[in-house]
Every structure is written in structure tokens, then in C-alpha cells.
Amino acid sequence: MIVIRQATVLDVPLILRFIRDLAVYEQLLSEVSATEERLRATLFPPDGRPAAECLLAFWQDAPAGFAVFFQNYSTFLAQPGLYLEDLFVEPALRRRGIGKALLRHCATLANTRGCGRMEWAVLDWNEPAKGFYRKLGAAEMDAWRICRLTGPALQRYS
């Protein structure tokens, strides 16, 4: 049985574990600088305005996966959107509907919150994920490329 619930501050160690597991899968572990302290400060800040939200999935009471998302905005639609930053299911628990349940839960939240769209990025080599998203009705936006300023390139403008 799949259970999905909103993460709480007590789940921060589990969230960090999932982030690291996802990074291992994506061959990007060296890029992870997240810590429990930083996750607490950004996901569960004292002012009550989190930078993102996190859903946790459980399979037969065992932690199975997570989804991290935040609100963005579409000027063309003049509506908020939901951006899915990360979706991960433990490899041993895949093909049980957990990823689909997490994605559907996010889509339901997007609809409930009046969002005009839900978006995410997928690595070009990740064919299993791309196939999974296509089966759910998602369209790849081939004409769009992600641009990023980070580290020294971003700090140059401080």
C-alpha cells in the first residue's frame, strides 16, 4: 500500500538521504552540498515561508521516495505553476506505482492551487524516466534549454 504525506521538519534526515540517493542515480553526488541544517532553514523556516515543499511516499510503512516542488509563475498564462524539482523512488521499490502516485499528488495540488501548468526537467540520458513521463501524458519541450548561473558566475553579480 502506498501512503503519501507532506514532509515535516522531523523528516529532514530522510529527505537528505533521498537527495543523496537521487544524486547517486543521476551520477551527480559530487554536486550535493545540502545539509540537514540548510534543509531545515529552507523547507521549514521560522517565518513559515518555505522555498519548496516536500512529499514523502511510503510503501508498506517503509520510506519509498519523495517529490520536492515549488510554485513558479507563467506570465503567458498569468497563473501560478508548480515546478517539480525532484522526483525519486528507491530503485528496489520501482514499478509499484509510487512514482506515479507522487506525480499525481503533485498534479492534484497544482489543480487545487489554480496552477496553469506543472513542469520539470529530466536528464537527456534518463530514458526510463522519459518513458515514464510520456506514459503519464507529459510532453518534452525540445525547443527549450535550461540556463543556469551558479557559484562564481552568480556571485559575480552581488
Alpha helices in the chain (DSSP H): 12-25, 36-43, 98-112, 127-135, 151-155
Q: Report the domain count for the chain.
A: 1
Domain that holds residue 141: 2-155
In angstroms, rounded to a whole number, what is the distance separating the alpha carbons of residues 146 and 80? 19
Region of residue 103 (left: phi > 0; alpha: psi -120 to 50; beta: else): alpha
pLDDT below 70 — which residues of the chain? none
CATH number at residue 78: 3.40.630.30
Task: Specify the pLDDT at position 140.
Answer: 94
Q: Give the strand pairing for 2-6 and 62-74.
A: unpaired
In the 8-state DSSP scheme, what is residue 1? -
Which positions are annotated as active-site residues?
Answer: 133
Task: Specify the pLDDT at position 122.
Answer: 94
Task: Specify the pLDDT at position 136.
Answer: 92
Task: Specify the pLDDT at position 23.
Answer: 97
